[in-house]
Amino acid sequence: MTMTRESILEALKKITDPLGGGDIVSAGIVRALDVEGDTVRFVLEIDPAKAETYGPVRDAAEAAARLAGASSVSAVLTAHSAKAPPDLKPARKPAPKGPQKVPGVDRIIAIASGKGGVGKSTVAANLACALVAEGRRVGLLDADVYGPSQPRMLGVSGRPASPDGKTILPLRNHGVTMMSIGLMVKEGQAVVWRGPMLMGALQQMLMQVQWGALDVLIVDLPPGTGDVHLTLAQKVHVDGAIVVSTPQDVALLDARKGIDMFGQLKVPVLGLIENMSTHICSNCGHEEHIFGHGGVKAEAERLGVPLLAEIPLHLDIRVAADGGVPVVVSHPESAQSGVFRKLARDLVAQGLA
- Non-local (6+) Cβ contacts of 163 within 8 A are 31, 32, 43, 76, 78, 83, 169
Round to whole Å and give the CA distance between 204 and 167.
Answer: 9
Kind of pairing between the strands at 240-245 and 105-113 = parallel
pTM: 0.72
Which of 12, 195, 217, 233 is CA-nearest to residue 102?
217
Write the pLDDT tens digit of every residue in 111-147: 999 888 899 999 999 999 999 999 999 999 999 888 8
If you average pLDDT over every residue of the chain, what do you get?
86
Q: Which residue has the higher pLDDT, 252 or 336?
A: 336
Residue 324 has pLDDT above 70, yes or no: yes
Rounded Cα gap, residues 15 and 30, in angstroms: 11
Evaluate if residue 206 carries a pLDDT over 80: yes
Distance CA 263, CA 234 (A): 13
DSSP states of 316-352 as a string? HHHHHHHTTS-HHHHSTTSHHHHHHHHHHHHHHHTT-
Would you list the DSSP string of 30-48?
EEEEEEETTEEEEEEE--G
More confident residue, 285 or 46: 46
User: Do the Cβ atoms of 232 and 100 come closer than 8 Å?
Assistant: no
The amino acid sitting at 332 is P
Which carries the bigger pLDDT value, residue 83 or residue 328?
A: 328
pLDDT band, residue 177 (cuts 50/70/90): very high
Q: Which domains does the chain have, with CATH numbers?
A: 5-79 (3.30.300.130), 105-349 (3.40.50.300)
Q: How far apart are CA 31 and CA 79, in angstroms?
A: 11
On the question of pLDDT at 97 being above 50, the answer is: yes
